[in-house]
Structure 1
Amino acid sequence: MIRTFVSLMLLLWVTAAFCQEEMYLRVNLLGYLPEDVKVALAFGKSPVRERVQLFRVAEDEPVVELRPGKVKTATWGTFDHYYELDFSEINTPGEYYLKTKKTGQQSAIFKIGRDAYGNHQETLLEFMRQQRCGYNPTLDMVCHSKDGRSHYGPLSDSTYVDLTGGWHDAGDQLKYLITGSYATAHMLKTFELYPEKFADNYNALGQPGSNGIPDVLDEAKWGLDWIHKLHPAPELLFHQIADDRDHRGFKIPNRDISDYGWGENSYRAGYVATGEPQGLGKYKSEATGVANLAGRSAAAMAIAARIWEEHLNDPAYAIKCKRAAISLYKLGRENEGYQQGNSYGAPYRYNEETWTDDMEWGAAELYKLTGETEYLEQAKAYALESANEDAWTVRDSAAHYQLYPFINMGHFALHEHVDDDFKKNLEGYYREGIEYTLQRAKRNPFHIGIPFIWCSNNLLTSLVAQVILFEKMTGDKSYAPFLAAQRDWLFGRNPWGTSMFTRLPEHAEHPVEVHTSVYVMLGLEVPGGLIDGPIYRTIHDNLLGLTLHKPDKFAHLQNNHVVYHDDVGDYSTNEPTMDGTAGAILMMAHFGMDAE
């Protein structure tokens, strides 16, 4: 009898220990600022029946013992039990980790301190330099020097126009004004907001060595110079170079085997924005105008005109940008509507269908630049028309890039120029989107407010930026816990326990086998790239040509709701994007340290 009882107790102990091995601790792998809300997450298939201790690495002694708080929401996938671990009261600088008191399960090491986010706004610029087309400083090579041959528009078909420069869009080597204009404007706006955060360690070509210009402005100018080329005449605006004929497998940029009718590694198609449907192959885009492209390109140029005049003392370039801003905005006024991206042999394209947000942004920046009241009145009219009609934040789903950009920067740009009543309108648009996503977040244990459509991480960094800008507009910091949860997801407080940025942080789980040629063919792990991110299983499983190359290291964490793979074969979740990375720079500058 005693032997039977002992055997039974041993079996129960082994079973309990086995169950506890399935508990996972999730923290922000990068770390927390002293004043941050700091809430880790524990989850597993069985209840957690032990305390969790927070250790400071320097002393290797627990500084606080945490009682897991049961999360009272719907569960996530295959795990039934979720608990929050709140250590917001701890603000002493140092390195820390969490450890279960009985079973000794341990989290990754993370920082608390003013330097938790370091100067990682600069790290994101490393990835941006890797995406450069023309001269690429990361690879030290010149690529696509024959871009491009025009299609559509007033020029004779296949007329050569110098369209070199810009950035490769993602793991592929297409170039879009849709994304390039936003990336350029976002970096410039971020510099205006946080000029003290950016260093000067690289020259204009992206090579090591200072040139007296903050590197974020060198990178933005790479985009500005390309936009100048895309707008060579008042009535002419190119919007895309190359198409999905690019997708010939992984390839080094200066040995591009794609053929657009002039042989491999030669001229590529350059599409003129006409405001009408386009497509040289089977699939046609939709289009009603060009104001989306013209409006935010005008915003970029207007911001640049101010910066090059006021910060860089370069009046000649400032005047050039001012003229381009006025011309681009006028083109948008004359051709209101949207221009989408073009595909050739596949149905996937950038489906942007909004434009009033871009014209609002362009008009607001032009008013700040010129003081001409006509721009202010037009910006206000566009703001009222735009409201939240162009916002994914008040919807449960959207097509790929349908509601792009993923934040209406026009509302923020206009805010400082209007009366108190109109300010409240603009603040209300941001608040409505934050509240809608907050309500969605309350339904899941990770407290995440986005729909997991393709490029979900872009949505998430944009939501983070919206909360930050809302705080700047209103002084209201009541959404700080929500902001922290969205940010922390990007750095490991997610089901897979991974950062969503390449090599950031170096010491912990981050994307490695990303869908890029430089990794597959050269083994380069370039830091700072924001990957597309998790996606609904229903979308993922219906995408064409998606095949994992290796066994899924996250298989034990996957579910039938949302999926993520660190695998070069999964272009839907593990491909870093240029505009996504650029769109995260505001977030990183906000939390990061001043430049040394």
Structure 2
Amino acid sequence: MTILKIILLLNFFLTSQAEKDEELYIRINQLGYLPEDSKIAVLFSHNTKPETIQLIQSRSDKLIKEIKPKRMEKENWGGFQYWEADFSEVREEGEYFLQSKRSKTKSPVFKIGNNAFSNHQETLLEFMRQQRCGYNPTLDMVCHQKDGRAFFGPMPDSTFVDLSGGWHDAGDQLKYLITSSYATAHMLMAYKMYPDRFEDKVNALGQAMPNGIPDILDEAKWGLDWIHKMHPAPDQLFHQVADDRDHRGFKIPNKDNSDYGWGENSYRVGYFATGRPQGLMQYQSEATGIANLAGRSAAAMALAAKIWEEDLNDPVFAEKCKKAALSLYALGREKEGYQQGNSYSAPYRYNEETWADDMEWAAAELYKLTGEAKYLDQAKHYALMSNTEDSWTVRDSAAHYQLYPFINMGHYSLHEVADEDFKKTLEGYYLDGIKYTLARAERNPFHIGIPFIWCSNNLLTSLVTQVILYEKMSGDKSFEPFLTAQRDWLFGRNPWGTSMFTGIPEDGEYPVEVHTSTYVLLGMEVPGGLVDGPISRYIYNNLIGLTLHNTDKFERVQNERVVYHDDVGDYSTNEPTMDGTAGAILMMTHFSGKR
């Protein structure tokens, strides 16, 4: 190589490095902000000199405000310098962008206004309909009508029991009562809290025609109908259909190549909830009872009984749900403890180890449904058992789904009917978790309070929901800046500048190359799905079978702490999940209109 070529290459390298050092990244909530929200952008660069930031009205290019960024002395993610730009005082509705005064680096355009969140709870329901098993309205086809063949139940192994319906869990096609019971109950709670914020655009099958029922209730009923099937008799409960034999590559649901012993695209195993460890191969689940599943399912049924009786004037279905709520709760009382998910040939499973929170929720809802004092007493008993220690919010790590659900909705439900002293106790449980996560958040530049374990976005939406519920319970609004920072991470105020929901916002940066068959095989981009989210680099480096398919478009902003990829090959951070999406609906609904 000639000296001239060496000099040219050196100059190129030095120029590229200098340009990289000068790059400024501006991170905001791409959807925008409600007028009264805290509005704080995060800026980062390798350059140590901050630039003045301008807030510009996008349509007129009018300068609204100049902001001197404030240096943040936080954990140093990726070797960057970090600043924040606060424009909270701006409340005038409109569309804006941030721009650096010298280099003219621009943020995406965002809204300030009461409609900034644009009714996106309906977008999340669109993704939920894509996850339906049985008739799938997104794909207009029918799948898995032979679910399933029972194992571990009182009937002989391989006996057929109709367990069709429900939702596929994520990019795979397993079905779990663990996640489906929570998704169903969460949607019903969201409707109960915000009954006037849901549209009616589809029928019960998810087809584009109104039926006089809010779409969130159509979706919740899809889950309720499946729970009824999983609870075929008062003393019987199934908890899972299929297992990791499903994981044979990407596939369209009605062409399922998995084989459970009866040929491909045929019968699948249905696991009966016994309250004891289970497994058909070397990997055995842990179990001490079934109250986690029975309790959550009972809460969903009790909520449904009131809604279908009082709001939908359907006493027949309401009575069916009431009977199921009572028998499910009785099962939970009989077999207190938890049942985990089952695996077949891989070590990964849902490791839930909590259950008192679910029984608290069920007992509180049954008290509201029946008025019987024993349920109120039992709800308080279970609340004291679950307290703060069952929550991930006061821990620095947890196993996969160990402390599920990621928020104790029972505390909020019970608070509505508890005496004043016990109300304070319940508020204190939520407050303990908020304070612990706030202390963690104060260490990092994005002010995020969660541990970056697998499905971190589920933790984040649950933390946002917990602060919302705490505000409603206590009237204490002092954590609003913390709440807003957690929410804004999900829509772009993060190192990668991306939303964590597919298709939201429509013209923004969001997950596209998601770990789903519909994208890989059909090229479909279904909006509204919440992806698993960023994970600690340590966990990422120790997972099996992760291979990126493309060059990392976020390479320049990756860091040593947490990693995220918009890549089909990264099932750990870029797989949208059914329960994660459902668990974000209350949060999204809360921000969708004036509070």
User: What TM-score range do you get, normalising by the shorter chain?
Assistant: over 0.9
Matches within 5 A, 1:36-115: 36-79=37-80, 81-115=81-115
Tell me the CA shift for residue 566 of structure 1.
Answer: 0.4
Q: Secondary structure at the match of 1:196?
A: coil
What amino acid maps onto 2:449 in structure 1?
G
Using the alignment, how far apart are the partners of 2:527 and 2:348 within structure 1? 27
Match of 1:408 in 2: 408
Match of 2:223 in 1: 223
Using the alignment, how far apart are the partners of 1:561 and 1:137 within structure 2? 40
Deviations 1:299-342 (A, max 9, x none): 00000000001100001000000000000000000000000000
Using the alignment, how far apart are the partners of 1:169 and 1:154 within structure 2? 26
- Does structure 2 retain, via aligned residues, the 8 Å contact 1:20–1:48? no
Unpaired runs of at least 5, structure 2: 1-11
| TM-score (ref. length: structure 1) | 0.96
What amino acid maps onto 2:564 in structure 1?
Y
- Does structure 2 retain, via aligned residues, the 8 Å contact 1:20–1:103? no
Match of 1:256 in 2: 256
- Does structure 2 retain, via aligned residues, the 8 Å contact 1:548–1:569? yes
Match of 1:6 in 2: none
Using the alignment, how far apart are the partners of 2:524 and 2:49 within structure 1? 41
- Does structure 2 retain, via aligned residues, the 8 Å contact 1:130–1:138? yes
What amino acid maps onto 2:558 in structure 1?
Q
| TM-score (ref. length: structure 2) | 0.97
- Does structure 2 retain, via aligned residues, the 8 Å contact 1:34–1:114? yes
Match of 2:584 in 1: 584
Using the alignment, how far apart are the partners of 2:560 and 2:20 within structure 1? 22
Match of 2:343 in 1: 343
Q: Secondary structure at the match of 1:333?
A: helix
- Does structure 1 retain, via aligned residues, the 8 Å contact 2:22–2:46? no
Match of 2:393 in 1: 393
Q: State percent identity of aligned pairs.
A: 72
Using the alignment, how far apart are the partners of 1:175 and 1:163 within structure 2? 10
Using the alignment, how far apart are the partners of 2:192 and 2:50 within structure 1? 50
Match of 1:476 in 2: 476
- Does structure 1 retain, via aligned residues, the 8 Å contact 2:516–2:568? yes
What amino acid maps onto 1:57 in structure 2?
S
Match of 1:246 in 2: 246
* Stretch deviating more after TM superposition (437-446 or 556-565): 556-565
Deviations 1:429-485 (A, max 9, x none): 000000000000000010000000000000000000000000000111000000000
Q: Secondary structure at the match of 2:79?
A: coil
Matches within 5 A, 1:183-332: 183-332=183-332
Tell me the CA shift for residue 78 of structure 1.
Answer: 2.7
Match of 1:126 in 2: 126
Using the alignment, how far apart are the partners of 2:142 and 2:238 within structure 1? 22
Q: Secondary structure at the match of 2:78?
A: coil
- Does structure 1 retain, via aligned residues, the 8 Å contact 2:491–2:498? yes
Using the alignment, how far apart are the partners of 1:96 and 1:21 within structure 2? 24
Using the alignment, how far apart are the partners of 2:51 and 2:120 within structure 1? 36
Tell me the CA shift for residue 163 of structure 1.
Answer: 0.2
Unpaired runs of at least 5, structure 1: 1-10
Using the alignment, how far apart are the partners of 1:49 and 1:470 within structure 2? 37
Q: Secondary structure at the match of 1:347?
A: coil
Using the alignment, how far apart are the partners of 2:15 and 2:79 within structure 1? 22
What amino acid maps onto 1:33 in structure 2?
L
Using the alignment, how far apart are the partners of 2:18 and 2:574 within structure 1? 34
Detail structure 1 runs of 4+ shifted over 4 Å in the superposition. 13-17
Deviations 1:241-285 (A, max 9, x none): 000000000000000000000000000000000000001122110
Using the alignment, how far apart are the partners of 1:16 and 1:347 within structure 2? 43
Matches within 5 A, 1:495-574: 495-574=495-574
Deviations 1:405-450 (A, max 9, x none): 0000000000011111111100000000000000000000100000
Using the alignment, how far apart are the partners of 2:17 and 2:577 within structure 1? 44
- Does structure 1 retain, via aligned residues, the 8 Å contact 2:176–2:239? yes
- Does structure 2 retain, via aligned residues, the 8 Å contact 1:40–1:85? yes
What amino acid maps onto 1:46 in structure 2?
N
Tell me the CA shift for residue 17 of structure 1.
Answer: 7.2
Deviations 1:514-535 (A, max 9, x none): 0000000000000000000000
Q: Secondary structure at the match of 1:245?
A: helix
Match of 2:6 in 1: none
- Does structure 1 retain, via aligned residues, the 8 Å contact 2:519–2:525? yes
Using the alignment, how far apart are the partners of 1:16 and 1:293 within structure 2? 55
Using the alignment, how far apart are the partners of 1:78 and 1:335 within structure 2? 52
Q: Secondary structure at the match of 1:148?
A: strand
Using the alignment, how far apart are the partners of 1:386 and 1:49 within structure 2? 47
- Does structure 1 retain, via aligned residues, the 8 Å contact 2:22–2:47? no
Matches within 5 A, 1:429-468: 429-468=429-468
Using the alignment, how far apart are the partners of 2:189 and 2:392 within structure 1? 21
Using the alignment, how far apart are the partners of 2:237 and 2:544 within structure 1? 32
Tell me the CA shift for residue 72 of structure 1.
Answer: 2.1
What is the RMSD of the two structures over their aligned residues, measured on CA atoms? 1.3
What amino acid maps onto 2:189 in structure 1?
K
Q: Secondary structure at the match of 1:417?
A: coil
- Does structure 1 retain, via aligned residues, the 8 Å contact 2:77–2:560? no
- Does structure 1 retain, via aligned residues, the 8 Å contact 2:397–2:451? yes
Q: Secondary structure at the match of 2:85?
A: strand
Using the alignment, how far apart are the partners of 1:434 and 1:239 within structure 2? 32
Residue 419 (1) aligns with residue 423 (2): no
Deviations 1:23-44 (A, max 9, x none): 1000000110111110001001
What amino acid maps onto 1:66 in structure 2?
I
- Does structure 2 retain, via aligned residues, the 8 Å contact 1:28–1:492? yes
Deviations 1:324-372 (A, max 9, x none): 0000000000000000000001000000000000000000000011100
- Does structure 1 retain, via aligned residues, the 8 Å contact 2:288–2:338? yes
Residue 384 (1) aligns with residue 381 (2): no
Match of 1:4 in 2: none
Using the alignment, how far apart are the partners of 1:281 and 1:46 within structure 2? 55
Q: Secondary structure at the match of 1:283?
A: coil
Using the alignment, how far apart are the partners of 1:72 and 1:557 within structure 2? 19
Using the alignment, how far apart are the partners of 1:483 and 1:499 within structure 2? 17
Match of 2:137 in 1: 137
- Does structure 1 retain, via aligned residues, the 8 Å contact 2:297–2:328? yes
Match of 2:34 in 1: 33
Q: Secondary structure at the match of 2:192?
A: helix
Match of 2:8 in 1: none
- Does structure 1 retain, via aligned residues, the 8 Å contact 2:183–2:582? yes
Using the alignment, how far apart are the partners of 2:499 and 2:463 within structure 1? 17
Tell me the CA shift for residue 15 of structure 1.
Answer: 9.7
What amino acid maps onto 2:137 in structure 1?
P
Tell me the CA shift for residue 502 of structure 1.
Answer: 0.2
- Does structure 2 retain, via aligned residues, the 8 Å contact 1:17–1:103? no
- Does structure 1 retain, via aligned residues, the 8 Å contact 2:283–2:345? yes
Deviations 1:24-81 (A, max 9, x none): 00000011011111000100112233211000012112100000011122221332x1
Tell me the CA shift for residue 235 of structure 1.
Answer: 1.2
Using the alignment, how far apart are the partners of 1:385 and 1:563 within structure 2? 36
